[in-house]
Structure 1
């Protein structure tokens, strides 16, 4: 992680820490004190209630009188129940009468609607009219037009007669309803039992006499009952206060837990944000490094090595000025040699010969490696004299998979091979650099995807393992 990212992360952590607020837990000491005071008040009221019960027990009416009073009271309740049943029965009968009467009125209206269209009130009147018309026609004294008119009227009367058949059925139903109403009214008169009212008045009078004779005791007892009821109201009020205090404390404690949960959520979010920032900074650093390395022109190390080898084998060779491209941002890439796999163009083939023992030859002046070779020159052999190749040169050629010269006559071929290799690498350099950049971008995208996946897993772990910290 870069220094800027580390500083930003620390700054974020400090800011988050300053934003955390102190959440005070509700003090239950005050609640306990108030509850204890109310419970003591209830105990005092219980003592007063016990004293009243003792006094009530002392103000007792004679048991025989009480038994008689209770008996009369029970009889009075029974009479009230009977009267109530009788009243309910009368109400039910009245409802039946009302229902039948409404039905009967509808039937009467239906008959009136049908009979209002003509002057006939019964089937008999219709039959009489048909008989009269029939006699007139049989007499043969009528004009043809009158006869036709009377025949038509007779036909209409016969149809009307059929309709009056249904009217007669309705009338029979009306007569039946009238009879039902009459029977129900008789039943109502039977339920109005005067004997029940007389018994009720008699029993109530006896109870009044008993109450009057024991009025002083009853008054005293009623007063004690009222006092006891008042004490009960006070106790209920105390219990209401207890419930209210507990309810208010529960609400405060619930709010405290809510605030603690919110604070915990806030801290979890801060922690996740911090982890995310650190991860993003790390991914950014990795991305910058990957892109920086990938943006270095491909084969830079190999090309520099070739230039140095050409300078070594050909003192007249002049190394061209280093090219600056947009991909390197104007910086000359490092030429530090490191062991690596060289990516040659696909069409380029280099035949590597097996290395043999170094041969000594004439020492060449100039070149980068001459100074080192002066102290590390291999002793001459029987095959060639005054020709030697420094070990660094051998390693450099081996890294490029180019055969090293065994004698001075092989040097021109080595130079030619180096130039061909240089040309092939330079032609492939831009394309290979783009490939390296695309690979770096793909690698960065993969790292980012894995980072998001890790974030989800860490979030689940934080939710499972985090604990609520209560600040007292």
Structure 2
């Protein structure tokens, strides 16, 4: 019960809103079109922007000129290599000596400054006005100054050597400093400035192109995202649509399966009903109509023999099979046969020896004479036409006169005895054939059901033969027996 409630509470998938999907798709397509226009505009600006090769010829020309000037400078430098070597050595020596002087970090630059300080401190110590601590400090400072005086003297010597090297460097440089070298150097600086200006412009153009490339890349990313959103929208719509139609197909399959099962139940009920009908028809005792016809004809020819015939019929019926239905004719009028239960609600009529069928599955109606005797009150012998036809049906010659009645009655009694004697055997044969027929029809129906399950087309024929055909088959058994007689 809980599972059933859960199944009922499961909400079936709804069909996606196609209008909303189209609206969302149009919005994304509009966004894509806008991004495409922007991308096309950026692409056009890139095409119109200075290319990567813009100004390359001029730059290459200037670089070539710089190389020429460097070569000329190199030739001049090679011709005066000795002087250049001396200048390099002096420059290195001067730089080293300057570093050494700076590293000394002396508070005094000349010995005169140190001598003046020492004299000042000696005067203060000789005055005798200093405290003992101050006097010791001044004496220690004087001692350190005397030691520093030697370092200052060495530093002065080093500075004098630096000045001498600088003078020598200037004199050597004057020997190589001519107008040709200066002109080459000046031209070199001018060409270098032009090349730097071109490189600056090239760098600016490159930055602008990079900005356009970055903008184009950003637009491409936005386009990719928009296309991804469009694909996701379509995939989601398709998934929901597929889910909806899959549920519809499954529901249809379930409905068809339920209808198929219901139809199987109906077909099975029909088969069982047809089988029951077949068995009921087989249960009808054979020659029942012929026996009744013979008895009616005997009663018609000799009404006084009705009681004896009834008593003989009761005795014969007691010897038949237990499942044969007995006819209670004690309350029936003399010369009238009772109808079967299956025939009491049907409108049947007697037409000579041939019994018309009013409905499917209904047996033939036995002869029921309208007159109670063949001898009229006036003493004439008269047999109605329908009674004559009843004689034909039981294969007994119609009596032509009152003297012929005994012969006809004996013949009828012989036929009656024959029918009653053969009734059990023929009835059992009918039952056997009915069961065989039922088994054959059920097997045929099962084969058809299996073939439908295996994909074969559904046959158009019915599961069972029409009941009229069934009745005609069962009646034919009695006809064959009579013919053999």
Higher RCO (Cα < 8 Å, 6 or more apart)? 1
Higher alpha-carbon Rg: 2
TM-score bracket for the superposition, by shorter chain length: 0.3 to 0.5
TM-score by length of structure 1 reads 0.47
